[in-house]
Amino acid sequence: MRKALAGILMICASMAQAEEVVIAALGDSLTQGYGLPQEDGFVPQLQDWLEGEGADVRLINAGVSGDTTAGGLSRVGWTLEPEVDAMIVALGGNDLLRGLDPAQARSNIDGILQAAEAADVEVLLIGMQAPGNFGADYKAQFDAIYPELAKAYGTVYLESFFAGLVDEGMPIDPAALRAWFQADGIHPNAEGVARIVEAVGPQVLTLIAQAQSNE
C-alpha cells in the first residue's frame, strides 16, 4: 500500500513539474534589482505576485546591471536554455543613457526576438521611451522600436517598464514619482518595484497562458 501511494505521489509530482512554466527575465539593472535586498528586486517580487495569482511558474533572473540591447543580444543564446518556456525582454534603458543609435537598438532587439522565435519561446516585450533631450527625431525612432517589433513578432507587449508608477489618464507628477525611486532617481525602490509588478504581472499571466498553449 505504501509503495503504491509513493508511486502515485511521484506521478503527481512529475505532472506538477511538467506543468510549471519557466520564464527567463532578460534585462538590465532594473530587472536585476540594483540597490535592493534580493527579495525586494523585480524578479522575486514578480515571482511572489504570480504565485499569489495561482500561477505555476519559475522565474530566472537574467538581468545584468549596465547591460545594453547589444549585451542582451550577446547573452540570449545561452539564456534560452531548453527548460525556458517564455522570456521577458526589458532592455534599452542603458542605450538611452549612452545616447546610442536607435537603429542599432532596433537591430539588437530584433535579433533577440528572432532567437526566441527560433527556440519556440513566447515573449513579453517591455517598452522604453526616450527622453526629449536627444531631440524629437531620436525620440520618435526609439519609441517606435518596441510597439513595431512586438507587432511584427506577435509578442505580448507592455508599453513601459515604469507603467505602474503613473496613474493612467493622470498628469505626471515628478514629486510623486520621486517617492518610488532610490536616491539616484533611476532605479525604483522596493515600493516602486511593487507598483511596477502590479502593472507587469497581468501581462506575464498572458505570457504564461501562451506558453502553456504552446506546449
- Which one of the listed residues 28, 95, 160, 187 is annotated catalytic? 187
Q: For position 6, what pLDDT does the model report?
A: 46
C-alpha cell belonging to residue 60: 530566472
**Catalytic residue at 187?**
yes
- Which one of the listed residues 28, 173, 184, 213 is annotated catalytic? 184
Q: With bands split at pLDDT 50, 70 and 90, how would you rate the model's confidence at 215?
A: confident
Domains for the chain: give ranges and CATH numbers.
Answer: 21-213 (3.40.50.1110)
Q: With bands split at pLDDT 50, 70 and 90, how would you rate the model's confidence at 191?
A: very high
Q: Quick one: average pLDDT of 184-197?
A: 96
- The backbone torsions φ and ψ at residue 72, rounded to the nearest 5 degrees and listed phi first, read -60, -40
C-alpha cell belonging to residue 53: 495569482
Query: Mind listing the pLDDT tens digit for each residue in 50-98?
Result: 999 999 999 999 999 999 999 999 999 999 999 999 999 999 999 999 9
Is residue 47's pLDDT more than 70? yes
- Which one of the listed residues 28, 29, 85, 95 is annotated catalytic? 29
Q: Quick one: average pLDDT of 146-166?
A: 96
Contacts of residue 140, Cβ cutoff 8 Å, sequence gap at least 6: none
Q: Please, what is the average pLDDT of the chain?
A: 90
Q: For position 165, what pLDDT does the model report?
A: 92
Is residue 13's pLDDT more than 90? no
C-alpha span between 145 and 155 (Å, rounded)? 13
Is residue 12's pLDDT more than 50? no
